[in-house]
Amino acid sequence: MVTNDTARAPKLTGATGPELPLYRLHILRFGYAFMTVGLIIVKWPLFFNHIERMPVFEGVVACILTAMSLLTLLGLRYPIRMLPVLLLEVLWKVIWLAAVALPTALAGEMGGAMGAVVSSCAVVVVIAAVVPWDQVWRQYVTAKGERWR
C-alpha cells in the first residue's frame, strides 16, 4: 500500500533554496494588500471617472497603475511568483527619488508638486520592508538561469 505522507509533510526546500515560512508569506501578502488598497483608493477613481479627460501621460500612468493594482491582487494568492511586481515598485521609486528628487532637493528647487510626489514615493519603505530580499537574491541573482536554447 502506498501512503501519501509526502503530500502532508511541509516542503523543506524550494527550487531556489528554503521556502519562506508562513509568517513571511503573510507579511509579503500584507505588502500586496497595502499596494492594492492604496492604488484602488487613489487611482481607480481617476481611471473610471476621468481617464478620457486626462492629458496623455497622466492617462498612461493611471492605466499602468490600475494594471499594477490588478497584479498586486494576484500577489495575494501567489506572493512569491509575483515578487517582480514589488521589485518594480521599489526600483522605480528608488531610482526616481535618487535621480530626480534628490538632485532637485539639493538644488533647493523642490516645489509643491514634486513634494507631493516625494511623499507618495516615500511609502515605498513599507514595500521594501516586506520584500524577502534573501529570497530575491537566491531567486534572481544566484540561481541558475533558464536555458537559452
Per-residue confidence (pLDDT) for residue 9, from 0 to 100:
40
Q: How far apart are CA 33 and CA 26, in angstroms?
A: 10
pTM of this structure:
0.81
Per-residue confidence (pLDDT) for residue 61, from 0 to 100:
87
Rounding to the nearest 10 degrees, give the CA dihedral for residues 23, 29, 33, 35.
120
pLDDT tens for 101-147 read: 999 999 999 988 899 999 989 999 999 999 999 999 999 999 999 99
Q: 7-15: which pairs have CB atoms within 8 A and are 24 or more residues apart?
A: 15/143
Per-residue confidence (pLDDT) for residue 58, from 0 to 100:
86
pLDDT tens for 25-54 read: 999 999 999 999 999 998 888 888 888 888
Residue predicted with more confidence, 92 or 13: 92
